[in-house]
Chains A and B, each alone.
Chain A
Amino acid sequence: MTRVTPNSDSPTVAGPRRFDKPRTAPGKTGKWIEERLGVSGAARNQLNKVFPDHWSFMMGEIALYSFIILILTGTFLTFFFDASMAEVRYNGSYIPLDGVTMSRAYASTLHISFDVRGGLVMRQIHHWAALLFMASMTVHMFRVFFTGAFRKPRELNWLIGLGLITLGLVEGFAGYSLPDDLLSGTGLRIAEAIIQSIPLIGSWAAFLVFGAKFPGTEIIGRLYIVHVLLVPGILAALIGAHMALLVKQKHTDFPGPGRTEQTVSGERMYPTYGLKAGGFFFIVFAVCAALGGLAQINPVWLFGPYNPAQVSSGSQPDWYIGFLDGSTRLFPSWEIRLWHHTIPPLFWPTVVLPGVLFTLAGAYPFLEAKLTKDRLRHNLLQRPRDVPVRTGLGAMAIAFYAVLLLSGGNDLIAKSFDISLNAMTWGGRIALLVAPPLAYAVAYRICLGLQRHDREVLEHGIETGIIKLLPNGEFIEIHQPLGPVDEHGHGLLQYSGAAVPKKMNRLGNPRRPGLVRGFLWPVRERAEIEAELRALEAQEAERRDRELTD
């Protein structure tokens, strides 16, 4: 195992020089820390941790970074927000609402938006980052699902991730309810009706949460502490656990040349991956900042303060609550009345449905392992096409969710496209039953088709686009085999779960040495690279000659 000198294809980068001097300031700092904490071994291990590089692994990163952005901007907002439902008359600089009676929460939101320098941009960055947080977590979950990354040994992290998404929903709802404007107040009114719809304990639970009959005077203050302390605290702890498990179990990896279940390959965290990830954090923040400045979001001053007698048409929640709004719109008016008691129709689409959905999602890794009798540990991912049943189930879930989400805005769709509102509702009800099985069937067939195409290329080779005229007049296309062939010209390579090259220019070494790609044009021209390589070889030959003559 002792291999002091690097591999033959790894010429030393810096030459035989020693530039980590113990007498320099960094050297002394390192010594100071080591003498007190004794962490140099563990630190080196973590600095050398290997991260695989694949675009789909960035979704979780976006979620982590938007959480950091949320904490930064949210802290700014707490300095100015007043979570009180006490009534005040507004006399700030937004003249159209001058003299209007409103809660202090709404008035301080106006204060942040108009009278605090930079307050509006912070509010808007915070809101955009929240939408991005939920979106990236959702897409990250899709990635983990479709590639089978949730399989043993990572079931716990799947559950933690699901917990993060659930808490993210609560956190987002609590957050956008705080301004106490007409839109969010309507959302709270519906939330109260949902709590109240629970059989047996409904009205007790509603009075417990709101402290009185709706709206009461407590709810904004309570949501505030839930939003800035309770849920973020739990989120931070769960994110820590999510990361700790990831470090302990290491990343999953796609199958490919040299990839095994026992190893992970990519770049070391320090310095390459760390620099890339750090840069990516800045890029995510840049997108949120630009959106926060340029794209208006939740202009509460246009909605006005909450008032139980008013509502604006086209009132939608933030996107991640939209699927529940959709389910509420689609569910028929089935009320159960038994022995002088009532179970309102609201109970099923808003309490039972999300309960069932999240339970199913949490149980999925265990159900799949049980049904497929798969007890092995898996570190290599699966391509979605290779597991058509799972991919079909995922497509089914996404179709179900998509119908609910679209139905959450069915009034806007009806208005924009001049469709009857009732037709939209009925369309949604039918689509909710028809679209998921259809999505399953389509996804399943696509998976099989892609599988077959992979096998076909492995067997017959890549289409070269070269047409040949045979002596008998027949035209055939010449195929380039991917590897050794048998006597009939059929490829001997077996499918191994890795991507199969399907174009001629995908053949060969996928990482051409020394090529540095730019955004629009290569940073280095081919000729340049070849000249350098020749110069390097000459140097090497000269060095060898010297060694021989010495």
Chain B
Amino acid sequence: MSGTASDNAANGLTAEEVAKLSTEEAMIVGAEIDDVFIVHRRERFPIAGTKAEKRAERAVAAMFGIGFLAAVAFIVVFCGAVPYEWHLPGQGSQSFHYFTPLLGLTLGISLGAIGIGTVLWAKWLLPEEEVVQDRHDRPKDPAQQMLTAATIVQGFHDTGIARRSMLKGTLGLAGGALAVVPLVALVGAMIKKPNRGPGQSLFHTLWGSGVAVVDADGKRIGPDDILPGGIMTVFPGVPGGVAAGDSPTLLIRLRPGQAVKARKGQASYQWGDFVAYSKICTHAGCPASLYEQQTGRLLCPCHQSQFQVLEDAKPVFGPATRSLPKLPLGVEVVNGTQYFVAKGDYPEPVGPAFWERP
């Protein structure tokens, strides 16, 4: 606020004197009280009613007119002039395709015309002004600062908190403990001990010994379901197996002549030409989905980690550090048909690494 405003209420003018001023003069006086000086001010069209002024006014009015028409068009389109219900191609009216674009177009034209009209009004028809305002950004009166400082320091002194150490200590204790309360209330309510409860462990998945290998629809999968070089995403055949975040497993049938050299102790995990790896990338947990059967490379589309299946899903490029865990695969015969089963859970945690992972 202006420092001089209060002691110079109306630039020394009385109410009667102000009343005698024209409105414009009174406006200028009011601005100057707040140290706002209108150094240049004139009408854009000094003589009212010239052809040029009318032309400018008509242009602005035309903008507002367009704004009105487009708003009406929006309302008409919205209220049913164009259908909005979605239909398959060939089954009902396809003009719903125009509904959203027409809404955007009419609303955009209406808002845009009103906006442009308003700006033009300001630029063309308002008096042109060059105004200078005092920032009041000079160093403040040091006496003022000292008085404020004294007020604060004296108030603090009056509480005696500096010398009443018992009050300070107990208030500190109480305040400190109370400050923890909201933290405890929120974090305490939300906190969950990791790895506790069924299906909640980061170290284990729903796979286990004898769990059936099924596809996304829950159908059991056998060796005849995949051609050589083919892949299939499979899940543990247990309740919730398809939906769980760490279930997805990539079942790969190698091409004839391709061989995977297994990790130590995992030689029995392969069944014939079939290997199964966790589909969850060991980097950030996206499903590594893009398999190049010629080269045996598996690519994760999120951050481009690449795994070489023929080298037991070792990461060969990108930000991933660890190989994809391998599922021990076996086969059981039901009613004369072979179906895959897991011979156990993954031997290591699936997906992105974490602090507790060895």
Contact = CB atoms under 8 A, between A and B. Distances in A.
Q: Do A and B come from one complex?
A: yes
A240 interface: no
A286 B119 contact: no
A276 to B, nearest CB: 5
A309 B205 CA distance: 14
B137 A377 contact: yes
A74 interface: no
Interface in B19-33: 19, 21-26, 28-33
B39 interface: yes
B107 A16 contact: no
B84 interface: yes
Nearest to B322: A335
A523 B56 contact: yes
Contact of A117 (B23, B78, B202): B78
Contact of B22 (A15, A204, A533): A15
A182 to B, nearest CB: 10
Interface in A111-161: 114-115, 117-118, 120-121, 124-125, 153
Interface stretch (A186-194, A476-484, A496-504): A186-194
Contacts of B270: none
Interface stretch (B170-178, B261-269, B311-319): B311-319
B31 A268 contact: yes
Interface string B81-100: 00011111000000000001
Contact of A308 (B29, B128, B137, B247): B247
Interface residues of A, number: 142
B356 interface: yes
Given A118-B103, A524-B52, A207 B193 contact: yes
Contacts of B169: none
Interface residues of B, number: 132
Given A206-B194, A208-B190, A50 B352 contact: no
A267 B104 contact: no
A207 B194 contact: yes
Given A7-B40, A311-B287, A332-B319, A279 B132 contact: no
B304 A411 contact: yes
Contact of A282 (B28, B111, B201, B304): B111
Contacts of A197: 352-354
Contacts of B352: 193, 196-197, 344, 346
A13 B42 contact: yes
B108 A289 contact: yes
Given A214-B245, A264-B132, A10 B42 contact: yes
Nearest to A312: B301
Contacts of B284: 189-190, 193-194, 328, 346
Contacts of A213: 199-202, 245-246
Interface in A189-217: 189-190, 192-194, 196-204, 206-209, 211-215
B195 interface: yes
Interface core residue of B34, B132, B355 (most chain A CB under 10 Å): B355
A434 B238 CA distance: 52
B341 interface: no
Interface stretch (B43-51, B145-153, B251-259, B324-332): B43-51
Contacts of B61: none
Contacts of A17: 22-23
A272 B110 CA distance: 22
A48 B248 CA distance: 66
B102 A293 contact: yes
Nearest to A337: B358
B320 to A, nearest CB: 6
B123 interface: yes
B132 A516 contact: no
A271 B43 CA distance: 14
B30 A44 contact: yes
Nearest to B216: A309
B137 A48 contact: no
B308 to A, nearest CB: 13
B271 interface: no
B135 A250 contact: yes
A536 interface: yes
Interface core residue of A215, A331, A532 (most chain B CB under 10 Å): A532
B34 A44 contact: yes
Contacts of B134: 262-263
A18 interface: yes
B287 A203 contact: no
Contacts of A518: 59
A262 B135 CA distance: 5
Contacts of B26: 18, 20
Contacts of B124: 516, 523
B50 to A, nearest CB: 7
A49 B85 contact: no
A275 interface: yes
A429 B195 CA distance: 36
Contacts of B293: none
Interface string A366-403: 00000000000101000000000000000000000000
A10 to B, nearest CB: 5
A156 B218 CA distance: 59
Interface string A492-530: 000000000000000000010110111000011100100
B69 to A, nearest CB: 15
A19 B27 CA distance: 12
B86 A203 contact: no
Nearest to A128: B104
Given A272-B126, A289-B107, A329 B318 contact: yes
Given A1-B11, A262-B134, A283-B115, A208 B46 contact: no
Contacts of B123: 276, 516-517
Given A286-B111, A535-B47, 5 more contacts: A121-B100, A207-B192, A211-B192, A286-B107, A422-B317
The 9 A-B residue pairs with the shortest CB-CB distance, nearest first, are A293-B104, A282-B115, A290-B108, A279-B118, A286-B112, A309-B248, A283-B115, A279-B119, A193-B352
Interface of B: 1-2, 4-5, 8, 11-13, 19, 21-26, 28-34, 36-47, 50-52, 55-56, 59, 78, 84-88, 100-105, 107-112, 114-124, 126-135, 137-138, 187, 190-195, 199-202, 216, 233, 235, 242-248, 279-280, 283-287, 289-290, 299, 301-305, 315, 317-322, 351-358
25 contacts: A3-B37, A4-B21, A10-B39, A10-B41, A20-B23, A48-B31, A125-B104, A189-B284, A193-B352, A203-B354, A204-B191, A208-B187, A213-B246, A262-B135, A262-B138, A264-B135, A265-B133, A275-B122, A287-B108, A292-B104, A294-B108, A328-B303, A342-B357, A421-B304, A516-B56
